[in-house]
Structure 1
Amino acid sequence: MRPGTGVATSRGGGGGAAGASRAVGEERALTSVAAGARYEGEPEDLPRLWHVTLSVSGEESPLAEVRRALEQLAHDHPFLLTSRYANDHAEIRYWEEARDLHDAAAVALRLWGEHRQTAGLPPWEIVGLEVIDRQTYHQRISEGYGPAPATPVGVHPF
């Protein structure tokens, strides 16, 4: 059973004909679990907004090159809200539209690597990822946590 989901999954090998002899819940692909009654009547694949914070770090790079690369990434992908950077780490925040958290996280985990060459990003690794729904983001802001809404959009040093 996967923790927190109430969904049992099987990791066994197995082959056989179309699973005619398998028990319910065995040998099936993992899929998203509906969030509960509050989504009744809505399509499961309805996109939602997710706030993403991606943290990367690695060996030192010249600040001017890091800034230029992050500005290029923001130009190529205008969905980026803000980037903060130093010579050995950076943080990128943006909104992602996705069906569920899994999809938003998958896109975020590919962002740095897929755009490393086109934007000239440093060869840093992803060291942190936070993906939260819009409601949680706004709740944190109202409680005084998270970035202030007045944080300027763009690329800024830490």
Structure 2
Amino acid sequence: MRRLASVGEQRQQTATRTIAGEREAARLWHITLSVAGSAVALSEVRRGLERLAHDHPFLLTSRYACDHAEIRYWEEARDLHDAAAVALRLWGEHRLTAQLPPWEIVGLEVIGRETYHQRVAEGSGPPRAVPVGVHPF
């Protein structure tokens, strides 16, 4: 049986390893970022997500509708806090350059690589990100 550690315990363990002189290795985190807002033309949403994916080829898949979208990708970060911070900045920092709708972030899931693969193997994980790219819901 796995033991789940609280976020506070994970922070303390990370701090202890860093103080002890061990270097923290970056890990992969699976990110699902959900955004929503007022309805806009589907073509505008698609073009914005395609520009975002072109500027940032790490984006695995995006799904969209006229009033919401979901972006899924892998982020390399030292810990969950760093991965979440980067994910939370993604939409706002690229809203103007990619001409994304002025929507707000309404959901964020960050899970480690092992957890992602375990959920997929159990059949309870997020749907596979296939095909890769920008697609309507």
Structure 2 residue 6 is the aligned partner of structure 1 residue 4? yes
Quick one: percent identity of the two aligned structures? Answer: 71
**Which residue of the other structure, out of 58, 64, 67, is the alignment partner of 1:88?**
67
The answer to whether the 8 Å contact 1:84/1:92 transfers is yes
Q: In structure 1, the residue corresponding to 2:131 is in which secondary structure?
A: coil
Hey, what does 1:147 align to over in structure 2?
127
Quote the offset at 1:147 in angstroms. Answer: 1.3
Aligned residues: 127
Matched residue type, 1:119? A
Hey, what does 1:45 align to over in structure 2?
24
Q: Structure 2: how far apart are the matches of 1:154 and 1:6?
A: 36
Q: Quick check: which has more Rg, 1 or 2? A: 1
Seen in structure 2, the aligned counterparts of structure 1 residues 42 and 62 have a Cα distance that, compared at 3 Å, is: farther
User: Which runs of 5 or more structure 1 residues have no equivalent in the other structure?
Assistant: 8-30, 36-40
User: Which runs of 5 or more structure 2 residues have no equivalent in the other structure?
Assistant: 15-19
Quote the offset at 1:42 in angstroms. Answer: 9.4
Q: Which runs of 4+ in 1 moved over 3 A?
A: 3-7, 41-44
The answer to whether the 8 Å contact 1:34/1:44 transfers is no
Structure number with the higher helix fraction is 2
Q: What value does the CA root-mean-square deviation take over the aligned residues? A: 2.2
Quote the offset at 1:4 in angstroms. Answer: 3.2
Q: Which has the higher contact order (CA 8 A, sep 6+)?
A: 2
Q: How does 1:14-33 map to 2 (within 5 A)?
A: 32-33=11-12
The answer to whether the 8 Å contact 1:83/1:155 transfers is yes
Q: In structure 2, the residue corresponding to 1:155 is in which secondary structure?
A: strand
